[in-house]
Amino acid sequence: MEHRRLPTDTFSIDNGVIVSNSRRWPLMIDPQGQANKWVKNSEKENTLSIIKLTDSDYMRTLENCIQFGTPLLLENVGEELDPASRPQTGPCCPNRPSDREHQQWFYRVASKGTSRPDTVSAGRYGAECGAGGMDCIRLGESVIEYSCDFRFYITTKLRNPHYLPELATKVSLLNFMITPEGLEDQLLGIVVAKERPELEEERNALILQSASNKKQLKEIEDRILETLHSEGNILEDESAIQILDSAKIMSNEISKKQQIAEKTEIKIAESREGYRPIAKHSSILFFSIADLANIDPMYQYSLSWFVNLYISSIQERQSRSHLTPPCHAIGQQCSVVGKSKVLEKRLRFLIDHFTYNLYCNVCRSLFEKDKLLFSFLLCSNLLLAKRQIEYSEFMFLLTGGVGLQNTVPNPDPRWLQDRSWDEICRASDLPGLQGLREFFGKSPESFQLIYDSKEPYNIPLPRPWCTKLNHLQKMIIYRCLRPDKKFVEPPPFDLTKSYMDSTCTMPLVFVLSPGPTPWPAC
């Protein structure tokens, strides 16, 4: 599946197995287009037809695919296909014993523009369908021959569609949204292809060779089984013995090739792992910008846009960097130790450049009120992924913890609000802030300077808290006392840079709020 562009994480592989073996046609939730690419690559050699519900020749294409047994991809469907339809029971298709009910439902969906969509039925029509009673289906007003080689795929770009139960029970509803592991593997392949092209080419060749070897072994097994099931005494059949001998020789040769390929693949995988940090980092960035849709539905960023920006950032860094050459030259220049240091430095440059490039591109598409939030989201997700901050502490910074009745009295109600004291008590339950409540209760005056200051973040915490806490833990204390300061200034909008980033096939859309003029910012 990997050489057909399906991600190699277990979630995606499970989806692929279900699509290939399910008795129901798949309806795939596919906002990033992963399933679309996979289906197109898998069915490329089988004359795949691609349609949309809005196509003028939709019905004719559907009829041809059903009749001649070619695969069909219906893409970009919405939440409603034909909710008024009800599947009719009927005889089964020989190749998919329990599918016919579900196939009929889809054919009724396809005929929703006809006058009587409820007349769809399938079965053996006898003379109406020709001699021998071939399988036929009534599609609208037409009766056409049904080929059991027909395959039907449906995809939607909706991120979170709500399908009615009557639809969900008639299809294999699969979520093909990209996973962090799947995206990380894709980005790893891209950066290796750019930095070490010979490495990625060899790996892709090994993947194809491995698939070919497994296919040949399966053919040999089938040939042996066919020979063993032949009539007569196999020991007296010279042709059968020759077939078995040649199959054994060929099987041994393929097994040896496969062993060599597996050893080579292990070495390549070890070399590719050196580039894992930038792939993991970039995967975190993508899911950080994907979270922006929760702030405003207009903040939608496609995976193809992200990958193109990722590739262009790598290429820009290659053309501008003189101190850190592209990594395909590292093996010719350095020893093992030196190569590791140069690679680490190179990846650091790439990570920093892509992160800032992405940050600037995304900020240009955000409203001013959301730019600071995006900076915080980006930073916090990176720190959480690297385990430099604890999730419980991060959530406390956002929410202040669960408000329960506090039995510990306020040590100095003259300046300290009860709400702030309650949050300090809850913060002391965090592993990194244990003992804060007791310390604060004994010397509340040591924190009063922070409360009174116009710039509390410039006032150090009393010892030992100023030295034992990390930045997030210090922010928690500042939040309890003074939750009123900003720390990040987003970059200004750059119209020229936006124009340079666009292409003839990637237009710019300016969304303006009523009233203010954009010219001063340009």
pLDDT confidence band for 27 (50 / 70 / 90): very high
Please say which residue of 220, 254, 274 terminates a domain: 274
Residue 189 belongs to some domain of the structure: no
Inform me whether the pLDDT recorded for 372 exceeds 50: yes
What 3-state class would DSSP assign to 298?
coil
Please say which residue of 239, 274, 309 terminates a domain: 274
- The verdict on 108 and 246 lying in the same domain is no
- The verdict on 166 and 200 lying in the same domain is no
Please say which residue of 146, 177, 208 terminates a domain: 177
- The verdict on 111 and 140 lying in the same domain is yes
- The verdict on 329 and 440 lying in the same domain is no
β-strand pairing of 122-124 with 135-139: antiparallel
User: What pLDDT score does 336 carry?
Assistant: 52
- The verdict on 40 and 166 lying in the same domain is yes
- The verdict on 39 and 164 lying in the same domain is yes
Residue 521 belongs to some domain of the structure: no
Residues 234-244 pLDDT 10s = 666 777 778 78
Weakest mean pLDDT among 226-240, 357-371, 379-393, 404-418:
226-240
Residue 504 belongs to some domain of the structure: no
Proportion of the chain above pLDDT 70, given as a percent? 77
Residues 127-162 pLDDT 10s = 334 445 577 877 767 788 888 889 999 999 998 899
User: What pLDDT score does 326 carry?
Assistant: 52
Range of the domain at 371: 275-385
Residues 311-343 pLDDT 10s = 999 988 666 655 455 555 444 444 455 567 888
- The verdict on 365 and 287 lying in the same domain is yes
Burial-class residue 425 by CB neighbours within 10 Å (0-12, 13-18, 19+).
buried
Report the C-alpha gap between 172 and 27 in whole angstroms: 6
Residue 185 belongs to some domain of the structure: no
User: What pLDDT score does 277 carry?
Assistant: 94
Compute the average pLDDT of residues 89-93. 35
In contact, 381 and 284? CB cutoff 8 Å = yes
User: What pLDDT score does 493 carry?
Assistant: 66
User: What pLDDT score does 147 carry?
Assistant: 86
Report the C-alpha gap between 113 and 132 in whole angstroms: 32
Inform me whether the pLDDT recorded for 516 exceeds 90: no
Closest CA to 117 of 91, 92, 88: 88
User: What pLDDT score does 260 carry?
Assistant: 85
Inform me whether the pLDDT recorded for 227 exceeds 90: no
Q: What is the mean pLDDT of the chain?
A: 79
Report the C-alpha gap between 393 and 431 in whole angstroms: 9
Report the C-alpha gap between 466 and 325 in whole angstroms: 42
| Amino acid identity for residue 482 in this structure | R
Residue 495 belongs to some domain of the structure: no
* CATH, residue 283: 1.10.8.1220
Compute the average pLDDT of residues 242-261. 83
- The verdict on 122 and 257 lying in the same domain is no
Structure-model confidence comparison of residues 502 and 218, the more confident one: 218
In contact, 447 and 427? CB cutoff 8 Å = no
* Total of domains in the chain: 4
Residue 419 belongs to some domain of the structure: yes
The helix (run of H) or strand (run of E) holding residue 74 is: strand 72-74
- The verdict on 375 and 405 lying in the same domain is no
User: What pLDDT score does 321 carry?
Assistant: 54
Residue 508 belongs to some domain of the structure: no
Report the C-alpha gap between 333 and 324 in whole angstroms: 12
